[in-house]
Amino acid sequence: MTVVLTPDRTAQARAFAQCLKAGQRICITTHVNPDGDGLGSEAGLIHLLKAQGIDAVVTNPSPTPERYHFLFRDLPGVDRSPEAVKELRRADLILVLDISDVGRLGMLSHTVQERGVPVACVDHHVSTGHLPDGPRYVNQEASATGELIYELAVANGWALSPLAARALYVAIMTDTGAFRFSNTRPAVLRAAAALLETGLDPEQIYLDVYANAPEGRARLLAETLQTLVVEPDHGLAWVTVPPGALERLGATPDDLDGIVEVPRSISGIRMALLFREIAAGRVKVSLRSVGAVDVAAFSRPFGGGGHTKASGLSLEGSLAQVQSRVLAAARDYLSGNGHGV
């Protein structure tokens, strides 16, 4: 299957690729607690660049979750996240994937801002944040950043090896919820089909990502679902990660992936939330929605953001304080139909 880009998108993709040159020190990074889209996009792009004689390293602010280690097995020495600050201080180009806000780089934010080199960006989010100046290839209508990396390959005539295709397929699959979410557009299905035509085994990829869970993940799901609260009058439901549960169960933040989808699946629910303490006096809230409810717009006044149907925010305060504040705002928001602020 051949995916055809518009002349404008082709020109933009080719212009963006001009910043990627052999001989540069290129650092590629993504947001804290990286997900399948960020990591798959990184691995896919590095395979594509290596085929063009261009080297790059991964410098993420958080370790790669175990379920995604397979993406880097054929890229020995590329994941330099443990030495991220050192690598970034030597970079000629920093390439940020899957975010457009330097604040999402966590402890690396200051280093990226202070380095003084171009900071390129490939992203598909709605963001009110900022990055240092550099080339951009951004499309808020794309289903995943991996879809945009695929477009760069198409526009620039970069051949897709099976390893590059597998990584980009992981990026697209995870950010569309295995092609279940409302962002599963015709364009992303065409891209996924083209990736599969390189000889991928979709069942094996699904098993690698979703069916290789440690016991702690199942126990974390069980404990978190015990906290479920449903307010049918508001179309609101939420769960709370018990304080200390991740450490006690030997789980990681990655093991929370998908739990917020359970309250969202309840009939009549329009907004679902997951609350988790991430540090003393700070709470993260993951949000999902159904129908026309825009959780990105809801999150924005709290300094959060993301997609219309999936977003997040973090606030200072105790778990009880943050829950009280956010849930009160959610009830008001849903009473106004949740179409924006």
pLDDT tops 80 at residue 256: yes
CB 130 within 8 A of CB 102: yes
Distance CA 167, CA 71 (A): 6
Who contacts 7 (Cβ-Cβ below 8 Å, separation ≥6)? Answer: none
**340, pLDDT greater than 80:** no
CATH of domain 7-210: 3.90.1640.10
Q: How does pLDDT run across 52-61, given as a tens digit for each residue?
A: 999 999 999 9
CA pair distance 341, 228, nearest whole angstrom: 27
Residue 152 has pLDDT above 60, yes or no: yes
Q: How many CA atoms lie within 13 A of 47 on its CB side?
A: 25
Q: Residue 30: its pLDDT value, please?
A: 97
238, containing H or E segment: strand 236-240
In terms of CATH architecture, what is 215-335?
Roll (3.10)
Give the tens place of pLDDT for each residue, 101-137: 898 899 999 999 999 999 999 999 876 678 999 999 9
Q: Which two tokens stand for residue 285?
A: 């809230």
Residue in the block written with tokens 């980009």 = 168
Using CA atoms, how far residue 75 sits from 17, 38, 160, in Å, is 21, 16, 16
Mean pLDDT for 221-230 is 98
pLDDT at 168 over 80: yes
The alpha-carbon radius of gyration of the chain (Å, integer) is: 20
pLDDT at 212 over 90: no
In the Cβ-directed half-sphere of 98, how many Cα atoms lie within 13 Å? 29
Delimit the domains of the chain by residue range.
7-210, 215-335
pLDDT digits (tens, 9 = 90+) for 59-77: 999 999 999 999 999 999 9
For the stretch 317-321, contacts whose Cβ atoms lie closer than 8 Å and that sit 24 or more positions apart, written own/partner, are 317/281, 317/282, 317/283, 318/281, 318/283, 319/240, 319/243, 319/275, 319/277, 319/283
